[in-house]
Structure 1
Amino acid sequence: MFKKILAAMAMLVAVASFAAVDVNKGTAADLDGIKGVGPSMSKRILDARKEGEFKDWPDFMQRIKGVKEKKAAKLSAEGLTVNGQAFAGQASAPATAKAAKADTAAKPVKATAADTKPATKP
């Protein structure tokens, strides 16, 4: 019985350590706990938050110096959220465009009449 209680408590601690931190609600210590957010970035976040809450990830990236799509994706993977939302990013749009371009390049070219003539022996 004691082992079950201990295991349940360990699971609760593990879940709490991986809990997401919302930029609109987190303290400086909460923000510093996110890998990739140091004291200077947490100060920038708190200062910008005084002007108003962040609406979404694009608003966050616009108002916080040094946070672009790549950094936002990393911070989101570490547990940072904006209004409870993880970063979805526009990275999928360029990837989709590249995939479409690759599909176009990989399509076979239609054969012409000259290509379909059988070879003759000399």
Structure 2
Amino acid sequence: MKGIIQGILLALLLGLSSVALAQEVAPINVNTADAELLAELPGVGPSRAQAIIEEREANGNFENAEDLTRVSGIGPATVEAFRDQVDF
């Protein structure tokens, strides 16, 4: 019986680890991403995604996460929410 329980626990742990790995995604490059991809960032919906693109086209690429505060509606708290999910 103990062996069966250990086997079930091992299967559960392996299943959970594969789910965690599946959720790990590559960072989004805010200088090349389209609006649909940018909208996936926490706190960024379709309108802010479009604003990121417009800011990027008007004033050049973003060099770091703090540069995203140039976009209306994106403040330090929003940047902190997605800092580890973006690349430049």
Taking structure 1 as the reference length, the TM-score comes to 0.48
Cα deviation, residue 82, structure 1: 4.2
- Ranked by relative contact order (alpha carbons within 8 Å, sequence separation 6 or more), the top structure is 2
**Structure 1 segments of 4+ aligned residues over 6 angstroms from their partners:** none
Distance 2:87 2:75 in 1: 14
Distance 1:23 1:70 in 2: 17
- Pick the aligned partner of 1:18 from 25, 28, 31: 25
Indicate how the Cα distance of structure 1 residues 46 and 73 shifts in structure 2: closer, same or farther if over 3 A, else same: same
Kept after mapping to 2: 8 A contact 1:23/1:31: yes
Kept after mapping to 2: 8 A contact 1:31/1:37: yes
Cα deviation, residue 69, structure 1: 1.5
**Gaps (5+ residues) in structure 1?**
1-9, 84-122
Matched, 1:56 2:69: no
Q: Which amino acid aligns with 1:18?
A: V
Aligned to 1:27: 34
Q: Which has the larger radius of gyration?
A: 1
Q: Which amino acid aligns with 1:32?
A: A
Cα deviation, residue 60, structure 1: 1.9
The percent of aligned pairs where both chains have the same amino acid is 26
Cα deviation, residue 18, structure 1: 2.0
Taking structure 2 as the reference length, the TM-score comes to 0.63
RMSD of equivalent CA atoms = 2.4
Which deviations, in whole Å up to 9, do the C-alpha atoms of 1:8-62 show, x marking residues without a partner?
A: xx78x826x622112111111111122321011001001011121112223221x
